[in-house]
Amino acid sequence: MTATMLPASDLRSVLRGLPGVDKVGVEARAAALGTRSIKTTAKAAAIDLAIRMVDLTTLEGADTPGKVRALAAKALRPDPADPNCPSVGAVCVYPAMVPYVYEVLKGSGVHLASVATAFPSGQAPLDVKLADTRDAVAAGADEIDMVISRGSFLAGDYSAVFDEIVAVKEAAGPAHLKVILETGELGTYDNVRRASWLAMLAGADFIKTSTGKVPVAATLPVTLVMLEAVRDFRAQTGRQVGVKPAGGIRTTKDAVKYLVLINETAGDDWLSPDWFRFGASSLLNDLLMQRTKLTTGHYAGPDYFTVD
């Protein structure tokens, strides 16, 4: 999918013409959906789906080939004790780590995502960002998680953000492009909706909340606004875009709340790892722990789940 080309003034009027988001209302709605009670069979199905949606992530300065190989192995077989446990959706690492992960994942069906474009700040010249992207794809990444320039967005220079996404999309070639809005820095739900549309118009395959590197990461109301955006965007353009909340989702209970949001907002078509992912690291072990509880009837201690 290529970008929908618009002159800069039209882009501004499209984004400013989107319906506003009432803060009190959207937070109340997200909180209400958060009270859904998901038990027994529904919980079991939700846990397996959530596992398949995990982008198992490590984005640390201390990442090493050994660390990311171990993570990739865990992505393939999250629960060594149970062969029926599904693999995760993808492994997400820095570009320098992509080759090591690729060796483990190739041919497995588990995707390999790499952050790029001077993650997490996005504060680098465009040619550096594009080179970053190309290198990651060349090394085997089939998904690219880029960051937008929040500075340009907040300055009102929507076309700069748009052009950058278009350029990165082109550099990413066949790889799926996830566009990180860094919603914790956008300040308002109106901005979250505008940034979502901006990214989608520019060709994003996924819109993603956060880098996980700023204090406020994914929240239910932000994700709700983004799910409404992808739902409305498909209704208007026919193109489906995925959503990825990332950062701060640590428990099964949290993950299930997000699945409820999808179920009651965007609907069935997004209840799939192709269209929804969790950017998370510690979430997986809690999902595994709850899964084991449901299958065996008792909780196993944390030592029964791998720490990779």
Partner 1 sequence: MSLFEYAPAPESRSIVDIAPSYGLFIDGEFAAAKNAFKTVNPATEEVLSEVAVADAEDVDRAVAAARRAFESWSALPGAERAKYLFRIARIIQERSRELAVLESLDNGKPIKESRDVDLPLVAAHFFYYAGWADKLSYAGYGTTPLGVAAQVIPWNFPLMMLAWKIAPALATGNTVVLKPAETTPLTALFFADICRQAELPPGVVNIITGAGETGRLLVEHPDVNKVAFTGSTEVGRQIAQSVAGTRKRLSLELGGKAANIVFDDAPIDQAVEGIVNGIFFNQGHVCCAGSRLLVQESISDSFVEALKRRMATLRVGDPLDKNTDIGAINSAAQLARISDLSEIGSAEGAERWSPPCDLPTSGYWFAPTIFTGVTQAHRIAREEIFGPVLSVLTFRTPAEAIEKANNTPYGLSAGIWSEKGSLILAVADKLRAGVIWANTFNKFDPTSPFGGYKESGYGREGGRHGLEAYLA
Active site residues: 145, 208, 244
Residues in contact with 53: Cβ distance below 8 Å, sequence separation at least 6, in sequence order: 88, 89, 273, 276, 277, 278
Q: Which is nearer to partner 1, 46 or 136 (CB)?
A: 46
Q: Any contact of residue 41 with partner 1 (CB under 8 A)? A: yes
194 touches partner 1 (CB under 8 A): no
DSSP assigned state of 276: B
Cα–Cα distance between 308 and 294 in angstroms, integer? Answer: 23
**Binding residues for partner 1, total number by CB under 8 A:** 29
Query: Pick from 3, 6, 42, 294: which binds partner 1 (CB under 8 A)?
Result: 42
Strand arrangement, sheet containing 143-147: 242-244, 206-208, 176-180, 143-147, 111-115, 90-93, 54-57, 278-280
For partner 1, which is the closer residue by CB, 187 or 302? Answer: 187
Tell me how far, at minimum, the Cβ of 241 lies from partner 1, in Å: 17
Please, which residues have CB within 8 angstroms of residue 6's CB and are 6 or more apart in sequence?
14, 162, 201
Q: Which residue in 49, 53, 116, 141 binds partner 1 (CB under 8 A)?
A: 49
Angle at 31 between CA 27 and CA 36, to 5 degrees: 150
| Cα distance between residue 218 and residue 229, in whole Å | 16
- Residue 278 C-alpha from the chain's centroid: 5
> Which residues neighbour 131 within 8 Å (Cβ) at sequence distance 6 or greater?
none
CA atoms within 13 A on the CB side of 25: 6
- For residue 143, the SS3 value is strand
Residue 187 touching partner 1 (CB under 8 A):
no
Smallest distance from partner 1 to CB 201, Å: 19
Closest separation in Å from C-beta 220 to partner 1: 14
Q: What is the nearest approach in angstroms of partner 1 to the Cβ of residue 238?
A: 16
Residue 28 or 300: the one with the smaller Cβ distance to partner 1 is 28
Q: Indicate whether 29 belongs to the interface with partner 1 (CB under 8 A).
A: yes
Task: Work out whether 52 is an interface residue with partner 1 (CB under 8 A).
Answer: no
By CB under 8 A, is residue 264 in contact with partner 1?
A: yes
Shortest spacing between CB 23 and partner 1, in angstroms: 9
Pick the piece of the chain touching partner 1 (CB under 8 A) from 25-33, 62-70, 117-125, 169-177.
25-33
- Is residue 228 close enough to count as binding partner 1 by CB under 8 A? yes
Structure tokens at 101: 């992960």
Identity of the residue, 249 or 260, whose beta carbon is nearer to partner 1 in the bound complex: 260
Q: Tell me if 40 contacts partner 1 by CB under 8 A.
A: yes
Q: Binding to partner 1 by residue 39, rule CB under 8 A?
A: yes
Among 10, 22, 60, 103, binds partner 1 (CB under 8 A): 22
Other beta carbons within 10 Å of 7 = 9
Q: Which structure tokens are listed for 20?
A: 């506003």
Based on the shown chain and the rule CB under 8 A, indicate whether residue 43 belongs to the binding site for partner 1.
Answer: yes
Which spans of this chain sit near partner 1 (rule: CB under 8 A)?
Answer: 19-22, 24-26, 28-29, 35-43, 45-46, 49, 228, 259-260, 262-264, 268, 271
